[in-house]
Structures are given as structure tokens and as C-alpha cells.
Amino acid sequence: MHYQDERTTGCRISDSWTYRGLKMMILENELLKVTIVSDKGADIFELVHKKTDTEFMWRTPWSIRNQGLSIPPTGNGDNVWHDAYIGGWQTIAPTGGSPTNYANADIGQHTEATLMPWDASIIEDSPDKVSAKFTVRTVRTPFWIEKVVSLTTGSPVLTVTDTLTNQAEEEAEAQWGQHVALGEPFLTSKCRLDMAKANHFVPPEGGNRLLDGHEGSWPLAIDPQGAEVDMSSFPPKSDRVQDYSVFMNQQEGWYAVTNPERGVGFGLTYPVDTFKYLWYWQVFGGGYGYPWYGRTYNVGLEPFTSLANGVPEPGSNKRTSIVFKPGESQSATVKAVIYESTTGVSRISPDGKVTVI
């Protein structure tokens, strides 16, 4: 029987954990602790900054549950996904968006991979660096997905590399993204959002914060009454608003959310040649009915290859899905970085170096 080296300093990693019956992988260094649910989508469930005891990943009100112990009361593809949604950070692929039909297969909200158990293995375990690999073969779609998650000693950067391989003997479409959700207690109306210059538009999603169909440039938008909205700020929960918008044509792939009261922030850097769109999901106490019931204060800032379900950009008829040739693989690396600041961020470099305002 093999037992991992139980270090108490430097980088550490262990797959010898379960939570509510689900296998977990824990990585940590001097600055960060990261917990990943191997048995449910390889979701990044926890990302904690040790110095300030700050958890950045949002949790749904029901949090993590072992879905194998219950039977869904309905087969609705949206409901099944949300019942199992824990918040946190998911790799979404090869479909992303509302329930859809994929090559004659019914697919629920986002993708089947987030509801499946993934195989997990430790591939590097030293005081200087730890890495874990998670893999899954989807059933209703023909993809093999790998995710490698790494920490290095003394670094506030979490590195995540996804690789998608089309195992079909025909071309296959995909929408692929990083479903990152931030929320309370880290996220408050005092927080600030910074990002590289970009255009944005508001799909007709039926929200009440932004004007449907509006197109503009970061950071300004328009509300349904025609008033200007500064999207670098977050409204209080008492405003009871929610919405969804998309950023595109970003000059560089990064964003940062800073909590000036805590003096800490979360940033993400990603390749914009792969992740061309940044989905911005906003629930500021305004999500009524199932599943939020007005309880939640959270945002999703989600780099994606495509628009939801691969629909075209406004004014175009060209689908935004990426197309994999038979046997083709594509990889992309994103980096989450935790930084200290009370003022915000002017840039995050591709290697995760943060420039504070």
C-alpha cells in the first residue's frame, strides 16, 4: 500500500479524501488551498487564500451533494444540471448553454461532462510543484477531455490546462469554456471589476439590469430605462437585478475582481485566440423562482470559445462553435491568480503577473 508524502510545508497534494461520499483532490502551497471534486465534473470546489481566509468560489445554497443518493424528480435538462450545480469552477465542454440536441443526442444545460465522475491521478508531487490530471470520456458526445491542475511553491497562481480530443471518425462541433463563479462573502457591492478593453453586447435573455440588444464598449452599458451603467461596479443585493452579457474582441485575455475592504482579489488570464468571448452572468439578488429564489449574490465571468450553443454573433449567420477534425486535439491554459490590492488592477500578464493600480 502506498501512502503519499505527508509534507507540512511547500507544495502538498492528496487524493485520499472524500466529502459526502465523493472523491476529492486537495492541492495547496504556502498561499493557496484548492479542492477539486473528482467524482463530479472535476469541479474546482474550493479556492482559498490562506493569509486572509478568503474563499473566492461561490457556493450554491444547497452546495455539494452526492447525486447518486437521490433520484431527480424530473428529467428536464436544465433542472437536472442545476440540481447538481455546486458553484465553483467547471470545465464546460463540448457543449455550453441551454439544453440542446447534439447530433441527435439530447444534452442538458451546459454539458454532460460536468455531471460525470472523472478519473484522477497525481502526476507530480514535490515540495516545489504539485500537479493532478483529471480525465473523462463523454458518452453522448465523442470527446476525451483532460484537465491538468498545478501549483508551484510560493506562487499565488493556479494553472489549469484543458485538452479536448475528438475521438469520432467525423468532424465534431464544440463550445468550450471556463465556468467560473464568484460570490459572497468575497463578492460585495464594494468590489471592483477590471479587464482589458473589449466590446460587449446583451443577448435577449430577459434580465432587468441591462437593455436587451444593447452593444457597447467596456465598461459602459445601458439599463432598460436608458441610463448609463458602469459595469466595473457591482450593484447591491437590494437592487434585485440580474442579467447576462458577453464581452468580445478583448485586447488581452484577463480580468480581475478586487475586494478593497478585504484587500484581496481574484484574477484570471486566458488566451483570447482560443477563448474569444467572456460570458458575464450576473445575479445580484434578482434571480427569482427556481433555482435561486432571490437568495443569491454571485457572478460568473466565463471565458468561452463560442457563444451559448454556438449561436452566431449579432448581425452574422456564422456559427461560433469550434469544429474538431476526426482525431484532432486542442489545448489551452488559463491561470487564476490571487493578489493583494485595495485599489484594483491595470493588467494581468499571461503568466499571472498582476499590475496593481
Tens of pLDDT, residues 200-257:
999 987 799 999 999 999 999 999 999 999 999 999 999 999 999 999 999 999 999 9
Q: Which of 65, 49, 69 is nearest to 57 (CA)?
A: 49
What average pLDDT does the segment 260-268 reach? 98
Bridging pattern class, strands 199-201 and 297-304: unpaired
Q: List the CATH number of the domain containing 131.
A: 2.70.98.10
With respect to residue 214, please indicate whether it lies within any of the assigned structural domains.
no
What average pLDDT does the segment 61-80 reach? 91
Lowest-confidence pick of 67-76, 206-215, 267-276, 295-304: 67-76
Sequence-distant (6+) residues with CB within 8 A of 353 are none
Cell numbers describing residue 315:
448581425
Maximum distance among all alpha carbons in the chain? 66
With respect to residue 320, please indicate whether it lies within any of the assigned structural domains.
yes
Asked whether the predicted pLDDT for residue 1 surpasses 60, the reply is no
**Residue 6: which pLDDT band, with cuts at 50, 70 and 90?**
confident
SS3 308: helix
Asked whether the predicted pLDDT for residue 329 surpasses 60, the reply is yes
Instruction: Determine how many CB atoms are found less than 10 A away from the CB of residue 233.
Output: 12
In tens, the pLDDT along 106-135 reads: 999 998 999 999 999 999 999 999 999 999
Cell numbers describing residue 58:
461561490
Side chain identity, residue 209: R
- pTM for this prediction: 0.97
What average pLDDT does the segment 149-163 reach? 98
Cell numbers describing residue 170:
467525423
Phi-psi map region of 251: left, alpha, beta (phi>0 left; psi -120 to 50 alpha): alpha
SS3 290: coil
On whether the CB atoms of residues 354 and 269 are closer than 8 A, the answer is: no
**Domain of 93, in residue numbers:** 12-195+231-356
Residue 108 and residue 120: Cα distance in Å, rounded?
Answer: 24
With respect to residue 337, please indicate whether it lies within any of the assigned structural domains.
yes
Block residue for cell numbers 443526442: 105
Looking at residue 2, what is its pLDDT?
Answer: 62
How many domains does the chain contain in total? 1
With respect to residue 107, please indicate whether it lies within any of the assigned structural domains.
yes
User: At residue 58, what are phi and psi to the nearest 5 degrees?
Assistant: -70, 145
With respect to residue 106, please indicate whether it lies within any of the assigned structural domains.
yes
Cell numbers describing residue 274:
482560443
Cell numbers describing residue 235:
450593484
With respect to residue 207, please indicate whether it lies within any of the assigned structural domains.
no
Torsion angle (degrees, nearest 10) of CA 280, 283, 287, 290 = 70
Residue 147 and residue 164: Cα distance in Å, rounded?
Answer: 9
Distance of CA 81 to the CA centre of its chain: 15
SS3 329: strand
With respect to residue 209, please indicate whether it lies within any of the assigned structural domains.
no
With respect to residue 88, please indicate whether it lies within any of the assigned structural domains.
yes
